[in-house]
């Protein structure tokens, strides 16, 4: 059994000098996805969408996280934290945290210790000041469990998805000793009694090259390769894939991950978007997607091996329903993620 203790450095945020109200010793309740949160106000887990591999109650332990290489449960590897199953349905995993002492939150430490290949890539945190404690609780060992329909119905009454945002979507680092503490500053002037921690997307990282998309090597490349001023190969051929979005929405950022593809990653990629009705999608399928509706979202970008690429989108204001990822000339991509806002379907667009 190994134990990891944080070394306090001069570069660490000032909020670590405040009272630690985020552990079980002050009665905090958490509903979701955090490790112990120094200088936050968590008290107890009251709701979690999923606790398949490890229960959410671990998040508020007073002791530092531990790792036992030989420990397993009937559901998989034992972890001293909160770990959900790989997300295969719409939405994302999240939890609710009841604070032991209501107050102002100045910062959060999301500790990913020992989660080196299965940590959530991004989180966000919301908060609210509730007049009464919700009638929610999680009892016993909940490993291998998920929220029931009745629990989901009860927590829906809190409308926590509409709570004010304390921390916007933020990238997390893996749980290695030199980067496991993800310090997130909070600028929120109001009193808080409960937190909501959102995990995005909850699917984790690709396990290997087989857990991604890889095309065959193209044979139409010229004998001598040429590049433009940005170092992007100038080639006649390319491969592409079309995705229908889970929700109609506005895209603010695109993530292209080439994890595990080191000698066979694409040289470059671009992303195109369009808005289609079901009838138009059916027509595109019949015409192998040879449609004039596509417009550029992300122009050609040079890619790196075994790396995560984040491309911001500044001028995208209209909602879309489909994207097309184009890679040149061939190769593999492990993950594509789109960050943005869901746009409710109006009557005029009810068929989208």
The answer to whether the CB of 296 falls within 8 A of the CB of 272 is yes
Residue 42 has pLDDT above 50, yes or no: yes
Architecture per CATH, domain 209-349, reads as Sandwich (2.60)
**CA dihedral (119, 143, 194, 148) positive or negative:** positive
Residue-wise pLDDT tens digits, 228-277 = 999 998 988 899 999 999 888 899 889 999 999 999 999 999 999 999 99
Q: What is the pLDDT of residue 37?
A: 39
Residue-wise pLDDT tens digits, 112-123 = 999 987 888 889
Average pLDDT over residues 199-207: 73
Q: Is 156 left (phi over 0), alpha (psi -120 to 50) or beta?
A: alpha
Q: What is the pLDDT of residue 86?
A: 77
Q: What is the pLDDT of residue 293?
A: 86
Average pLDDT over residues 200-227: 82
Q: What is the pLDDT of residue 137?
A: 87
Q: What is the pTM of this model?
A: 0.56
Average pLDDT over residues 182-211: 85
Domains 2-200 and 209-349 fall in the same CATH topology: yes
Q: What is the pLDDT of residue 56?
A: 92
Cα 104 to Cα 121: distance, rounded to the nearest angstrom: 26
The C-alpha angle 341, 344, 348, rounded to 5 degrees, equals: 135
Q: What is the pLDDT of residue 183?
A: 92
Q: What is the pLDDT of residue 350?
A: 44
2-200: what CATH class? mainly beta
Domain ranges of the chain: 2-200, 209-349
Which residues fall within 8 angstroms of residue 146, CB to CB, at 6 or more apart? 49, 50, 51, 52, 85
Cα 168 to Cα 125: distance, rounded to the nearest angstrom: 7
Q: What is the pLDDT of residue 20?
A: 54
């Amino acid at each position: 059994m190994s134990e990891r203790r944080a070394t306090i450095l001069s570069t660490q945020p000032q909020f670590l000098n405040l009272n630690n109200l985020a552990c079980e010793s002050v009665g905090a309740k958490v509903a979701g996805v955090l490790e112990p949160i120094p200088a936050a106000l968590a008290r107890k887990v009251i709701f979690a969408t999923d606790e398949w591999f490890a229960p959410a109650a671990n998040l508020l332990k007073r002791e530092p996280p531990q790792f036992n290489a030989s420990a397993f449960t009937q559901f998989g590897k034992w972890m001293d934290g909160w770990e959900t199953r790989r997300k295969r349905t719409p939405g994302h995993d999240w939890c609710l945290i009841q604070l032991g002492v209501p107050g102002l939150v100045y910062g959060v430490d999301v500790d990913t210790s020992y989660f080196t290949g299965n940590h959530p890539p991004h989180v966000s945190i919301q908060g609210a000041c509730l007049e009464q404690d919700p009638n929610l609780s999680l009892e016993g060992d909940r490993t291998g469990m998920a929220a029931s329909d009745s629990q989901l119905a009860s927590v829906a009454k809190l409308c926590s998805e509409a709570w004010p945002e304390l921390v916007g979507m933020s990238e997390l680092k893996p749980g290695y000793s030199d980067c496991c503490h993800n310090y997130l500053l909070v600028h929120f002037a109001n009193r808080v009694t409960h937190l909501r921690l959102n995990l995005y997307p909850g699917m984790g990282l690709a396990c290997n090259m087989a857990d991604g998309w890889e095309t065959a090597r193209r044979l139409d490349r010229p004998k001598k390769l040429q590049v433009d001023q940005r170092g992007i190969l100038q080639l006649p051929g390319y491969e592409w894939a079309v995705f229908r979005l889970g929700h109609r929405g506005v895209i603010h950022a695109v993530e292209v991950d080439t994890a595990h593809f080191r000698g066979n990653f694409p040289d470059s990629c671009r992303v195109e978007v369009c808005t289609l009705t079901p009838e138009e999608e059916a027509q595109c399928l019949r015409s192998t997607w040879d449609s004039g509706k596509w417009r550029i979202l992300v122009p050609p970008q040079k890619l790196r091996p075994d790396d995560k690429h984040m491309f911001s989108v500044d001028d995208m204001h209209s909602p879309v329903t489909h994207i097309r990822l184009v890679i040149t000339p061939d190769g593999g991509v492990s993950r594509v993620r789109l960050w943005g806002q869901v746009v409710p379907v109006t009557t005029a667009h009810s068929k989208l």
